[in-house]
Amino acid sequence: MPESASPFRLKGNYFAEPYHFRTDVTTGVCRTPTGVRICTLPPDFLLGLRDALIYECGKSYRTVLKAAGRRWGSQWIKRLDREWTAYYQQPFRELPAGLIRVCLADAFAAHGYGKLDYTRAEESPEFWSAEIGDSLFPALVGESDRPVDLLMSGLLAAIFSYLHGLTMDCLQTECPSMGAERSRFLIGPAPRIAELEAWWEANTPLPSHEQVLQQAAATSHAPTNGQTHTHQEHHLPHSQPPLEVVS
């Protein structure tokens, strides 16, 4: 996309605006500046939801919880797109890639989801490597033999699908519930993630994040069932007009 002739004006953290989440105690309703209703889900509710899904769905609860995260995430990123587009007066997906990254990190932090960071995987550029520090579900669930950040996996898959304009999926590779320092994820085209997840599940002990990245790089062009994978590289929007800080 061609660069803008005029400087791009940085406005700071959108969520740092005074009273971003505004509660009207007379009605018992909390809203954002754009009128979207916000509600707080306490830890007891989230654990109760997870336990109910385990009871009702058995092992399939993991698929259900991740799918819920994806459906929620698809609506959440569309709302944030509208709000950020109005805030910056420029389509959100046309903002500099670095600013998109900052906006998403700010959104995660403001909503209490943890500290998000991500980068393109150097070993295989069709993938993105992401991590969330102090993510909610690992802190709630405690010790587990499997990753438990299923809602975040679905949420990240939805966000990257929306930004890329194609179907992406997400595999959690490390989790504090399994002794890791933070939740780590690999995000990429859905068919490739499905292949990597099958390989990951078949190994004992479960491979580390770095080992999954190595497997992704090693199989990027490997034949499968007589066919060769061909992957077009997709990028987040990265137009880079000159920046001007607004005081």
Q: What SS3 class is residue 119?
A: strand
| Residue 133 one-letter amino acid | G
Fold of 42-220: Muramoyl-pentapeptide Carboxypeptidase; domain 2 (3.30.1380)
> Which residue ranges in the chain fall short of pLDDT 70?
1-9, 221-247
* pTM of the predicted protein model: 0.85
CA dihedral 111, 75, 148, 21 (to 10 degrees): 10
Residue 230 has a pLDDT of 38
Is the bond preceding 91 in cis, omega lying within 30 degrees of 0?
A: no
Residue 141 has a pLDDT of 93
* pLDDT single digits (tens) 103-134: 999 999 999 999 999 999 988 899 999 999 99
Residue 213 has a pLDDT of 95
Write the CB contacts of 4 (distance below 8 Å, at least 6 apart in sequence): 239, 241
